[in-house]
Every structure is written in C-alpha cells, then in structure tokens.
Amino acid sequence: MALYPPTGFFFKVKIGDFEDVAFQEVTGLSMTLETLPIKEGGQNRFVYQLPVRTSSEKLILKRGLEVSSQLANWCKEALENFSFSPKDLEISLLDFAAQDKILITWQVVRAYPTKWSVSGFNAANNELAIESIELQYQHFSKIFPS
C-alpha cells in the first residue's frame, strides 16, 4: 500500500539506452499555458485570455560527477561538437514501501542537453563534486500505471 502523498526522494530516471543515469535531483518538470489577451471593443471591464500553447522549463538533472560516462559523452557531443541526438526520458516516482512499484511516470520527448556544469571546488568543505545537466525538450506526458 502506497503512502499518500508520495515521497519525492525515491525515483529513477531512464535516458534512451544509457545505463549510467542515477541522479540525486530532478527539477523542471512543469508546463505553463500561454495565453493571448484579447480586448473587446466597447468592453472595458475585462480582457479575454485565450489559450495559445504550452511551454516548459528546462529539465535539470543533478548527480555526483562521473569522469567518463555515456551521458557525459552525449553532453559533450552536443555542447562541444554541436552534434545533437535527442533522447526520450522516463522519470518514474517509486513507491517507498514497495520499491519496484511505479506510482507515476513522466515521459519526456526529444530531450537534448543545453548546459553542463559542475559545482564549485572548495578545499575547506568535504562535499562531492556535483554535475548538473540542463535539457530542453519538446513536451512531456504523465502516465499512471494500470
């Protein structure tokens, strides 16, 4: 039996056929409906807001730095060589009690890297080096398992 609301710390990410995709943080799964304001002639009390299209934020994935990986090579190809090969992602929120049970999956379509960064280095702190990868994508959909 799942706990509700579900916890946000137990999840998995799948990027195409990559095998090295364990992350500590995923942010940016959001969609906004853009509207177009229309003023009606003679009507000054309000403005109509008509739906136009949706837009999304960039997806940000964070994990401990891996010196060499399929994901790092994919980012390098896009950012250094300007060679893009979009990938589909699956981000699944898992049930904490039954750890192999998927509660919700977000299917992200045609993602590609737009930024790669690494956290700062500080000899006074005992912290891991964290790499961040920003992805742009076409759209996502939410899938509930049956």
Q: What is the pLDDT of residue 3?
A: 55
Q: What is the mean pLDDT of residues 21-29?
A: 91
Q: How far apart are the C-alpha atoms of 10 and 99, rounded to whole Å?
A: 8
Predicted model pTM: 0.83
Judged against a pLDDT cut of 60, whether residue 48 lies above it is answered with yes
Q: What percent of the chain has pLDDT over 70?
A: 97
Instruction: Work out the average pLDDT over 53-76.
Output: 92
H/E element holding 72?
helix 70-81
